[in-house]
Amino acid sequence: MSVSETETPPSLTALTTYLLSNVGKTARTRLAERLAEHGQRLWHMAVLAALADFGPHAQRDLAARLGIDPSDMVKIVDELATAGQVERNRDQTDRRRVSVTLTPAGRSALAALTAEANAVQDAVLAPLTEPERAQLHALLTRVHQGG
Amino acid sequence: MSVSETETPPSLTALTTYLLSNVGKTARTRLAERLAEHGQRLWHMAVLAALADFGPHAQRDLAARLGIDPSDMVKIVDELATAGQVERNRDQTDRRRVSVTLTPAGRSALAALTAEANAVQDAVLAPLTEPERAQLHALLTRVHQGG
DNA sequence: CAAATTAGTAGGTGAAGACCCATCATTGGC
DNA sequence: GCCAATGATGGGTCTTCACCTACTAATTTG
């Protein structure tokens, strides 16, 4: 009959909730695909970013900051360590703690991942002009802080 | 030391990709929780919306429109049918096809789910003023169509 | 010093999603 | 009429993710 019915129902696109959920999912998925080509996942990038921005963390503090389970953080740091992007050192003042530090390799890995993220961003936000992208970013920042 | 370190790394919040992914995820999660209280999931709502907006569909067309696997659509329609929100009828001109129709119960269920979605939206977009929300919606709409 | 708490680690669980394939009835091409 | 293609259905797999528990080593509390 008709060409092909691929339109999204207006009842859904009328909901900002739906658009956020949907656009966010495609952004997330595409970014994850890019990172996968580097053998990494979203949490790996988040950990590298946290270390770059705030310096060395105890593993527990890293987990708390990023809001994930400490037992999951173990595995992420494991993988980053075997990739040489992060270093584990026993804290000598409290030998239960493990201090996690970014290595130079980790820093340059983060730069590469950030470049990928920007590429995805260009693709996803293609329909928008530069000032519109800035506006979107500003709005999302406020929403993010408030949530 | 400091109070508690819960700040998100600026390296991440600088990326619109990250904000989209993150804000989208919380929107999605919160909406899913609300729908779960009605015993439904996101796809159920999407199917109801598609039927409300475009009228009866063959099951296959529903799957194509929403971009999911036909075999998964079977299960979703199963659940909607046992909830009485949808009716299955053999298409008499092509008896392989099953025509799916929205029932009055389905229509009012959709209204309830939409109300939930709006509630989530109010909560998520709380930091924004009304015109800002409209602007965000407009930007996301363009991004959504372009993606 | 004994007991309770904390940090890291290893492992398992359960739900959700996206896919994929085999089957069966029906239809359309030839 | 026969054969290929189609629509619906049931079944299964494979990840990913969040969560949870048990255990060990080290530290703090009282």
DSSP string, B96-127: T-EEEEE-HHHHHHHHHHHHHHHHHHHHHTTT
pLDDT score of B5: 65
Residues A90-129: tens digit of each pLDDT: 999 999 999 999 999 999 999 999 999 999 999 999 999 9
**C1' (C4) to CA (A102) span, angstroms:** 34
In the sheet that holds A98-102, the strands lie side by side as A57-58, A98-102, A86-90
Touching B: A residues 64-93, CB under 8 Å: 64-65, 67
Q: Which of residues 28-47 of B touch A (CB under 8 A)?
A: 28, 31, 42, 45-46
The whole model's pTM is what? 0.92
pLDDT tens digits in sequence order for chain B, 147 residues long: 334 567 899 999 999 999 999 999 999 999 999 999 999 999 999 999 999 999 999 999 999 999 999 999 999 999 999 999 999 999 999 999 999 999 999 999 999 999 999 999 999 999 999 999 999 999 999 999 986
According to DSSP, residue A27 is labeled H
Residue A132, chain B, CB below 8 Å: the answer is yes
Q: What share of chain B is helix, strand, coil (3-state, %, to 5)?
A: 65, 10, 25
Indicate if CB(A80) is under 7 A from strand C: no
Cβ–Cβ < 8 Å for B34, A93 = no
Does residue B18 contact residue B12 with C-beta atoms inside 8 Å? yes
Measured CA to CA, the distance from residue A110 to residue A104 in angstroms comes to 10
Q: If you average pLDDT over every residue of chain A, what do you get?
A: 94
In the predicted model, is pLDDT for residue A48 greater than 80? yes
Q: Are A104 and A62 in contact (CB under 8 A)?
A: no
Contacts of B24 in chain A (CB under 8 A): 20-25, 27-28
To the nearest whole percent, how much of chain A has pLDDT over 70?
A: 96
Closest residue by Cα to the C1' atom of nucleotide D17? A72
Interface test with B, best of A1, A2, A15, A16 (most B CBs within 10 A): A16
How far lies B12's CA from each of A65, A113, A118, A133, B102, in Å?
13, 11, 11, 16, 43
Q: Which residue ranges form the domains of chain A, and what is each CATH number?
A: 3-123 (1.10.10.10)
Between A16, A124, A142, which is nearest B127 by CB?
A142
Contact A64 B133 (CB under 8 A): no
Protein residue minimizing CA–C1' distance to D16 = A41
**Contacts A–B by Cβ distance under 8 A:** 190
3-state secondary structure of A98: strand
Which residues are CB-neighbours of B53 under 8 A, at least 6 positions away? A9, A10, A11
Interchain CB contact of A112 with B (< 8 Å): no
Q: What does the alpha-carbon distance between residue A13 and residue A17 come to, in Å, rounded to a whole number?
A: 9
Q: Residue A73: in which H helix or E strand, if any?
A: helix A70-82
Q: Where are the beta strands (DSSP E) in B2-67?
A: 57-58
pLDDT tens by residue, A129-143: 999 999 999 999 999
What are the tens digits of pLDDT across the range A7-29?
A: 899 999 999 999 999 999 999 99
Residue A94 has a pLDDT of: 95
| Residue A1 predicted with pLDDT over 50 | no
